[in-house]
Structure 1
């Protein structure tokens, strides 16, 4: 008799989500099976369910959601290199190279068609998950599974946006629009790299208070009519070197551009299908400003964050806004969609 497990499955044809019983997967060549201990619930999961995001490379009609995953190694397929052991604590990278594009075949450059866990192939909203061995990252004993799970994406995406795409520098002014799951970590991480001042913008009072507690120098209401003036005042009249849209809201982008300094850059981290427009394009060109797209993170960014947590440079204890059993995954999605309790991250525990 085939062993079964619970898994949170999305039918991409009709956008229906349900926790179902499915067979426990068997690891193939180069794969390990993980007994999942924690899996984050991301706004991207909400958008997959509501249809505003769609998988690009999914080969079937259903997919197990969940790209933020931690657990312990349970079983090995053939051809897994030595060094990993059963019971070892790990987190999983949120995606992997396709292995098929020209750069993957030549083993040079970035993959052109990265596959995302829980989007393009089965993820970790399940009791067990499969992972290619090179997507494993060892987790120190002192890092709780709930915190380890959210490092890929919730923490690594803003980290990569800050240090790679944005190139944040010490003592340079930065703005963060949206202090939810991504933005809250962005404030912490900008503080870590020495950006100053850090200006957080959010329409929710509790989110602004959280931003200040996490290290923002100033927190502003997005609806404030004098927002741009206050940003200019806080930056000595020059504006922001960097602005991050962590919310994926079209109106945010226009407001953020208006606050940029000459040569300033807006980094788009939050995802939205809404068109990107620049109302005042002549000054945008005149002042040499830029808009940069950003998606996810590279493997080294996750490894860096695990090391920062290991050495107590990064505390994610306040990031876990609640835990729910896997069977209540739909409840977690609804809570996040309604922003109930203004969560940073909700976590499923199979």
Structure 2
């Protein structure tokens, strides 16, 4: 192993990114060193660069959706060994907030996010806490495994934990890009029927249909609500997901709900929430939930689903690029070139 490695570095002072040679880390107590196989480019990475997410460090290596192989084990680590194929968790509890003091680490109020509060995996090597690792089944490819640590696990947690989608729920998804495509797939696996994908783009709607949407609709259709009513035989939507995170999409999601329906927002923007008139919202007992992240065990469940072929992510990898082309990959995602679900970096 060399003493230095190529890594992407984000600088908060001017929101710039650079490729630099940096020292290879060595794992401290309780940590492991992972040789990164793949790491995704996520919209939250873009949010740090464009300032939507406030910087937590003056400089940091980005990238939080990674897979790789353990090459070094720190003092005190048990249950893991060199050669294990793993997915690192994309966050660490703070251990100081009131939730952590009660042992409720999964609901830490000040979660330290990988690639924001500590160095991520747009680099050859990544130091990770051993307690947050997930083993990759032998029949699961490393590129698909990298998707699980946010691109798929966040939608999974939204479907299973926040929305609690179950058999027979009518489900609609506004925005079927990276997160929305996986919401469609996972809502169908959970028993949603029908699952309706809603977007402006014909290509992404065709893709949503290929991966499991029962119906696709255009979000700018003036007859959208009446078409949803027809498709659900008058009962409207039980669970609506907003994967865009802007006023019009959340408002449309809320408007589509049946009595006691739930709208779950996963999209991130600086806009305010619009849930409609109090009269309609309260009389029909509608609910709006915000969602971010996942539980550590969710990645393990998804890895097992891939292993047993209960989930197909073959269309989710839009492109694989070398680390040297990271700026181009970021720009492609930002400008939606070729409608990517996930662009992966191979350091």
| Structure 2 partner of 1:228 | 225
Spell out the pairing of 1:76-155 with structure 2 (5 A cutoff).
76-81=73-78, 83-108=79-104, 110-155=107-152
Residue 105 of structure 1: CA displacement?
Answer: 2.8
Q: Residues 88 and 129 of structure 2 are in contact (CA less than 8 Å); yes or no, is this contact kept in structure 1?
A: no
Structure 1 gap ranges (5+): none
| Structure 2 partner of 1:18 | 18
Spell out the pairing of 1:268-287 with structure 2 (5 A cutoff).
268-287=265-284
Residue 257 of structure 1: CA displacement?
Answer: 1.1
Distance 1:235 1:12 in 2: 48
Residue 37 of structure 1: CA displacement?
Answer: 0.5
Residue 85 of structure 1: CA displacement?
Answer: 1.2
Distance 1:283 1:228 in 2: 15
Distance 2:246 2:157 in 1: 20
| Structure 2 partner of 1:342 | 339
Residue 273 of structure 1: CA displacement?
Answer: 1.4
For residue 329 of structure 2, give the secondary structure of its aligned residue in structure 1.
helix
Distance 1:98 1:306 in 2: 26
For residue 234 of structure 2, give the secondary structure of its aligned residue in structure 1.
coil
Distance 1:171 1:19 in 2: 49
Residue 30 of structure 1: CA displacement?
Answer: 0.6
Distance 2:101 2:281 in 1: 40
Residue 113 of structure 1: CA displacement?
Answer: 1.5
Spell out the pairing of 1:254-333 with structure 2 (5 A cutoff).
254-333=251-330
Residue 278 of structure 1: CA displacement?
Answer: 2.8
Report the count of equivalent residues: 346
| Structure 2 partner of 1:159 | 156
Q: Deviations over 1:140-164 (max 9, x none)?
A: 1221111101101100001000010
Distance 1:256 1:69 in 2: 32
Distance 1:143 1:309 in 2: 7
Over the aligned positions, Cα root-mean-square deviation in angstroms equals 1.4
Residue 250 of structure 1: CA displacement?
Answer: 2.2
| Structure 2 partner of 1:50 | 50
- Which of 46, 66, 69 is 2:66 aligned to? 69
Residue 117 of structure 1: CA displacement?
Answer: 0.8
Structure 2 gap ranges (5+): none
Residue 53 of structure 1: CA displacement?
Answer: 1.5
Q: Deviations over 1:187-231 (max 9, x none)?
A: 111111110000110100011101111111110111111011101
- Which of 182, 201, 204 is 2:201 aligned to? 204
Distance 2:326 2:43 in 1: 13
Distance 2:276 2:189 in 1: 34
Residue 281 of structure 1: CA displacement?
Answer: 2.5
Residue 294 of structure 1: CA displacement?
Answer: 0.5
Could you say if the C-alpha distance between residues 278 and 107 of structure 1 is closer, same or farther in structure 2, counting changes exceeding 3 Å? closer
For residue 233 of structure 2, give the secondary structure of its aligned residue in structure 1.
coil
Distance 2:251 2:108 in 1: 31
Distance 1:188 1:108 in 2: 30
Residue 99 of structure 1: CA displacement?
Answer: 1.5
Residue 276 of structure 1: CA displacement?
Answer: 0.9
Distance 2:244 2:90 in 1: 20
For residue 317 of structure 1, give the secondary structure of its aligned residue in structure 2.
coil
Distance 1:134 1:270 in 2: 29
Distance 2:226 2:39 in 1: 41
